[in-house]
Each structure stands twice: as structure tokens, then as C-alpha cells.
Structure 1
Amino acid sequence: MPAAETSESLAYSPAPADRRLLRIAMIGQRGLPATFGGIEHHVAHLGRRLAARGHEVTVYCRSNYVSERWDAVDGVRLRHLPTVGTKHFDALAHSLLSTVAALADRHDIVHYHALGPGLCAPLPRYLSRARVVQTIHGHDDRRQKWGGMAKAVLRGARWLSEHVPDAVIGVSGEITDEYALVRDRPTVHIGNGVERPVPAASPDPVIRHGLFPGKYVLFVGRLVPEKAVDLLLKAFSGVKGDVRLAVVGGSSFTDGYVSRLNELAAADPRVRMLGYVYGDELASLYRHAAVYVQPSHLEGLPLALLEGTSYGLPTIASSLGCHREVIAEEGPGGRLFREGDEGHLRDVLVRVLGALDDEREGARARAEDVLGRYSWDVAADRTESLYHSLLAAPARRR
């Protein structure tokens, strides 16, 4: 759930005369306007940039995501379709309806996001002339919230994602390399992006939450087991002093896990469980934090880590490969701890909080590095080029 964004220019040059304008369907995201969810923000950033270049972008939205029923956002056409609002059928039911609607709309590109929605990819791949693209945002088949049957279905979705799409996009180099080993069709790395944050943000929302500017550790994300917020709460309990911990996020069909987190938080009066927070309020929490922590067991490429770094916050992350891609070289402003190691996370927290001046100096340089390496404009350029290259290739057998 990215923070408030600066209003940057979308005045892109029009597509060259030899490049046709495309009709693009986006399927798999919950919908727009984006509130919580990294995939939703990914689609929002990508979609509005492609629409600004003249392409017709349609985002298929779940009726249970937002209360508004807008026809368009930032030039992106929205189609609201019903779904089955349960843990196991929400994404699949909506993706099937969206795929049928997309076939009727005769798009040039049908672009799926995440593993589960890609179960429907064989329909446009074999029943239409549309080119099928799938972006892999993470290892959905390994998430702890799924039971045995759901994991089996997602393993099937993983196999389909390896064999069906005309092209696969990995948001991290780690994901892309995994797919490149098993695919003989285009497999490309197009990372997430981050925008330069607002230069100033009022501390009032921070103070209202019982926090003090520069005196709290921040986590932002869905409260699901693979984010390892329980590990963070346990490690933080061993950090002495008046520093506080702000946990921003809520349940994603994980109410039992969230209840356990609330029990851990209740044992430490310094912890603030804030729920989902958006816009200017979230920008304020980023802007005035002392440290950002990403303790995850499993990730694709977390937008929150990119955002925390873009604000010039000293960041601490688990030793996952995708986190190492962001924290390219460990040092002041960017620290890693052994994934799953509560004691090591506690030690790193104590060390960073005890040397904040040096850590902040290093974090400012890292902010510019991340803003240079992770660009939504570059992501849109590469995605658009991929679409055109697929359509320029010889027609495939159906």
C-alpha cells in the first residue's frame, strides 16, 4: 500500500508511427483505484502510463474491492465484475469471468498478474489471437496461508505459467532466473518501480497514533505469515528504550494469524497496530520513521521496501534474494539479517538504532540509488516493447 505519490508528468511521446496502439486487458488484480495490495499498485502505475501513450487499457475489477464503481481512472478503463468473496475462490472466479469478458472484447494483449489468475490463461492462448503475458509477482504456491489442496492447485498454476504464456515477466531477477531455466519463450525481468516521495509530510498523523517523529520502527504490508510480522514483534520485545514499533497492514484471509499478532502486540505497550493506512497518512508514517523493517520469509519484490528506502530511511531486511537485489551492498542505511533468525534481527535493530546518524547518512545515498534503479517509466517502456515484439512475431499455431 504505497504512500501518497507526487503528481508527475504523464506527457509521454506518442507511439512511433510504425507501432500500433494496442488494446490491453489486465486480469488478476483486485481493482482500481488501488488501496491495499502491491499488485494493485503495480497495475495502477503501469496502466496509467500505457494509457497516457494512447493504448486502450482495461482493468477487470472485483466488485468487493472498492465501493466506488468508476468507469475509468487515470485514462484506464475499468470493468467491474462479480466474484465469490472467499479465500479460495475470490481470485479464480473473478479471473474466469474476466477472461471470458476479455475474449469478447477482442484485446491484442491479455496480461495476467500472479499465479492463480493464470489458470485461465489457456483460454485466450488457444481460443483467440491475443498474445498472453503473465507477470509473476511472487511465489504464491509457497505461501503459508494455503492448505494442501490450494497449494496443489497453485502448483498446477505454476506449471501453466511456465508453459502457456507467450511471455513471462518476473518482478525480480531471482524470479526471472527461475522461469528462464524452464521456458523456451520470452522470459524477461521488469522490476517494480518507486516514485520520488513527497518532500515534506505533516507529523500530525504520527502523533495521533501515539508515536513520536524519529522514534519508531515501521513495517508496512499485509499481515500474512510469510511477512513474518510475528518474528518482528518478538525481536522488538528485546529492544530496550523508548523506541516504538508501528505495524501498518491488515488481514488477507488470515484472521487467525492477525489475532496471534494482536496478542503479541498487547504484551508490549510500545507497539501500535494501525491497520491499513493510505495516502498522506501513510506518507507521514514513512517520512517520520526512524527505521523501516522487512522481515519476510517469502517475497517477490516488496514495494514497501522500495518505498521505505526511497524516503531515505535506514532499512533492515531478511536475507532473501530479492531483498539483496534492493540492498545491493550491505552497509550503513541498508542492513540484512539471517531470514527467520529472531536473535539476529534483534541485534541488528539494536545496532542500527544505536547509530542512527551514520545509518541515515548511508540511507540518503541509497534512496537516490533505488530511485535510479527502480522506475515505473522504465517498467512501462519495457512492457510496451515486449507487447509489440510479441505481436510482431509470426502468428503462433492455436
Structure 2
Amino acid sequence: MKKRLTVAMFGQKRLTREGGVEIVVKELCTRMAQRGYQITCYNRSGHHVSGAEFDSNEKTEYPGIRQKSVLTIEKKGLAAVSSSFFAALYSALGKYDVVHIHAEGPAFFSWIPKLFGKKVIVTIHGLDWSREKWESGFGSKFIRQGEKNAVKYADEIIVLSKGVQDYFERTYGRKTHFIPNGVNRPVIRQPQLITDKFALTKDSYILFLGRLVPEKGIRYLVEAFKEVKTDKKLVIAGGSSDTDDFTAELKNLAEGDDRIIFTGFVQGQLLDELYSNAYIYTLPSDLEGMPLSLLEAMSYGNCCLVSDIPECTEVVEDKAIIFKKSDVSDLKKKLQEACEQPETVKRLKEQAADYICRKYNWDDVVKETVRLYRRDI
């Protein structure tokens, strides 16, 4: 019998849908716990990133997973740093075979568990220092050093895209392991809540769902959509992430077009209904790590419209509509064509779910991740 490893994880806020990192950690941990691994998650203290009203609306306890909240300084720029430091310290002092750190910022502290003889795995969810909110100042320097510390101290580094794998090889000469995220096949829901709350019906809207941050290309989307001749709505679903000013900017940009709806953060049945009934899903990003929302959208059988960055095109291959990154004119053209060509949309919808669920499987992700855990143990 193989030894059931003890694993500590940190870098996530909580086991919720607050962001892509949180979804990944939840999927990994719940599946590993089902296989008998002893998992401890060191989570941030404090409220849900989109507001305290979301704190208790989602299941957060899972069988076989110990969750511990660490001291967190609730100040912009310090929450992630402080919680990661204490999580690193607790994981270093605990009886763990493996410490798995998620994201470049938390990886700054990878030297602490390494100093105490732990096997350290770091998953790079994206090149976070290149995000607009971290373009300069302490945050950018901290995240860049986190990347360098991952290279120096991690026993193994996991990346979620080929582009990031090439970056680590080119920049540091460091070999990494490409293990993309997975996706679950969902239950399709009929429109109920979305009709009651937003007067939306099946195929009546174009959907963007994700964090409201500049690198997601939402500015281009609003600008382009305002020029599209259609009676379909544009639904922008998601909460801010230390980006309230940007959210206000988007709403100002959308002013005067009552077809554009901002739902705020969504979860549960509302989230399922939005994915289930969209005419198309769009992800116009300039920058991504591994876009989980795109995998999810396709798993619901959506026709997707994405920018031509490698992180998106690697996922969709020829099963989606693609436009030139940052090009408002091309995005407008592709949106207009999609609205006028329902047969193309229908064809892509019919291919999406089977294709994406075959290509990206969480059980495969867990298998490959555990193989790295066990190497040299």
C-alpha cells in the first residue's frame, strides 16, 4: 500500500468561487480527500472578496479537509502577503509531506517550508506581475520575487499553459510541468432566477462572467457591444477584486445603453442559469493564466467568442469564434456576425460540451499532481 500523504495548501482565499485559484484548490482538495490523502487548507481570514453578504451563501466545509484560517491584515495589498506568510509558517511547522503553494505572490514564502525540510510544489496560475493592478510599486516587486523564489526553492513547478511553460524555460532555464485545469460536466438549468431578476430568457443575451479587472478586456467588450445592432443584452457578471474604480469606469462607459446589465458577483443557481441560457459566452482577455470560466462556459454547451491569446486559443482550438486581442473593431465585427448567424452559433454549441469535457478532466489533473507529490518521496 502506498503511504497516504499529508498535504498543506495555501495561496487560496477560501474554498469558494472567489476566483480561479479558489476553484482549482477546491477541486484538487476534495478529490484528494476522497482518495484518502490528509489535506489541510490554510485560508485567509476576513470576508468574501465581493462582500460580506456572500460569506455564508456557499458550502465551505468538505469531508476529509481540515481548514484553518490564518491571521490576515485586512488592508489593501497586505491581506495576501500577511495570510501567505502565516500559512507558510504553519505549513512549515506542521507534520506535512508536501506543501503546495498556489500563485506567484504566495510563492514568495516558499523558502520557509523548504527551510524546514518540506517538499514544496508551486502552481503558477498566471504571470500575476503583468496584471494592470500590479503594474508598479510594492505589489509588482513582491510578485516578481515570488516567481523567482518559486524557481529557486520549489521542488516542482506546475504551470497551466504552454506559454507560461515557455516563459519559465526561456527566462530561468527552469523545467516546469504543464498540468492544465479540469472541468466538470454540469446540469443545464432552465431560466428562472435570471428571468425574475434581470428579465433574461434563453439565447437573449451575450455573457461575460469573471472578475471585473482590466486585463479581462471588458472595456473593449462594452465599447464594441455599444456599436452592435442587436436586441440581445450584454450581461457582465462578476465582482471586483480590489478594482472598485475600474468597475465604476465600466458602468460609466456603459451608460446610455440599457441593453448592458451588471449583475455583480454570482454563484449557485444564478450562475448555473447564466451559463445554461447564454446565446454566446465571451472572454475578450488581454491576459489569462488558464481561463476556468471558459472551460466552464464550454461545458454548459456555449458558443464562445475569445481573444486570440494562446491561453484561450489552446483551449478552444477550432471550436469557438476568435477575434484579435485588444481590437475593438474586430470584436464588434465578430459580435455582429454571431448575432446575425445563429446557425454558426448553434453548430459551435453542439460541439462544445463533449469536446471540452473530454479534453480537460479533474481526475487526470489530480493523478498528475499526486505523481509530482510522490516523486522522490
TM-score by length of 1: 0.89
* Contact 1:172–1:301 (8 Å) recurs in 2: yes
Q: How does 1:148-167 map to 2 (within 5 A)?
A: 148-149=136-137, 150-167=139-156
Tell me the equivalent position of 1:44.
26
AA partner of residue 115 (structure 1): E
- Matched pairs, number: 368
What amino acid does structure 2 have at the position aligned with 1:378? Answer: D
Residue 132 of structure 1 is matched in structure 2 by 120
1:122 Cα deviation after fit: 0.7
Structure 1 CA distance for aligned equivalents of residues 271 and 148 of structure 2: 37
Deviates more, 1:114-123 or 1:333-342: 333-342
| Distance of 1:186 and 1:129 partners within structure 2 | 22
Q: CA RMSD in A?
A: 1.7
Report the identity percentage. 33
Structure 2 Cα separation of the partners of residues 291 and 248 of structure 1: 14
Q: Distance in 2 between matches of 1:42 and 1:247?
A: 23
Q: Give yes or no for the alignment of 1:351 onto 2:334.
A: no
2:134 partner SS: coil
Q: Which 10-residue stretch deviates more, 150-159 or 186-195?
A: 150-159
State the match for 1:123 in structure 2: 112
Which structure 1 segments of 5+ residues have no match?
Answer: 1-16, 392-398
Q: Which has the higher contact order (CA 8 A, sep 6+)?
A: 1
C-alpha distance in structure 1 between counterparts of 2:94 and 2:59, whole Å: 19
Counterpart of 2:52 in structure 1 is: none
1:394: which partner in 2? Answer: none
Name the structure 2 match of 1:146: 134
Partner of 1:339: 325
Within 2, Cα distance between the matches of 1:48 and 1:152? 33
Question: Could you tell me which of 353, 362, 369 is aligned with 2:355?
Answer: 369
For 1:1-398, list aligned pairs within 5 A: 17=1, 19-32=2-15, 34-66=16-48, 67=55, 72-125=61-114, 127-149=115-137, 150-182=139-171, 187-198=176-187, 200-208=188-196, 209-329=198-318, 333-391=319-377
Question: 2: distance between equivalents of 1:201 and 1:358?
Answer: 23
- Do 2:93 and 2:116's aligned partners in 1 also have CA atoms closer than 8 Å? no
Contact 2:43 2:68 in 1 (8 A): yes
CA 1:182–1:266 in 2, change beyond 3 Å: closer, same or farther?
A: closer
CA distance in 1, matches of 2:280, 2:250: 20
Separation in structure 2 between the aligned mates of residue 211 and residue 72 of structure 1, nearest angstrom: 33
- What is the rounded CA distance, in whole Å, between the counterparts of 2:350 and 2:299 in structure 1? 8
On the 8 A contact 1:265/1:273 being kept in 2, the answer is no
The CA distance in 1 between the partners of 2:117 and 2:213, in whole Å, is 38
Give the Cα separation in 1 of the matches to 2:60 and 2:136. 39
Question: Secondary structure in 1 aligned to 2:375?
Answer: helix
Secondary structure in 1 matching 2:297:
helix
Q: Tell me how far apart the structure 1 counterparts of residues 183 and 239 of structure 2 sit (CA, whole Å).
A: 22
Partner Cα separation in structure 1 for residue 323 and residue 274 of structure 2: 23
Cα offset, 1:220, TM superposition:
0.6
Residues 159-210 of structure 1: CA distance to partner in whole angstroms, max 9, x if unpaired?
A: 2222221000001122122223455665201111110010x31311221212
1:153 Cα shift? 2.1
Q: Which moved more, 1:345-354 or 1:181-190?
A: 181-190
Structure 1 window deviating more from structure 2 (276-285 vs 178-187): it is: 178-187
Q: Distance in 1 between matches of 2:356 and 2:345?
A: 16
The C-alpha deviation readout for 1:243-293, integer Å capped at 9, x for no partner, is 101111111001110100111222210011000000111110111100000
Q: What are structure 2's unaligned runs of at least 5 residues?
A: 49-54
1:385 and 1:93 map into 2 onto residues whose CA distance is 31
Bigger drift between 57-66 and 358-367 goes to 358-367
Amino acid paired to 1:28: G
Does the Cα contact within 8 Å between 1:162 and 1:182 map onto a contact in 2? no
Q: 1:70 to 1:226 in 2, by over 3 A?
A: closer
2-structure distance, mates of 1:75, 1:50 = 9
For 2:94 and 2:111, the matched residues in 1 are separated by 17
Query: Which whole-Å CA distance do the structure 2 matches of 1:20 and 1:71 have between them?
Result: 27
| Cα distance between partner residues in 1 of 2:117 and 2:171 | 24
Query: Runs of at least 4 residues of structure 1 off by over 6 A?
Result: none
User: Normalised by the size of structure 2, how large is the TM-score?
Assistant: 0.94
Match of 2:51 in 1: none
Cα offsets for 1:303-358 (capped at 9, x unmatched):
111111111111000111110111112xxx50111100001001001111211223
Contact between 1:109 and 1:132, CA under 8 Å: does it hold in 2?
yes
More displaced, 87-96 or 65-74? 65-74
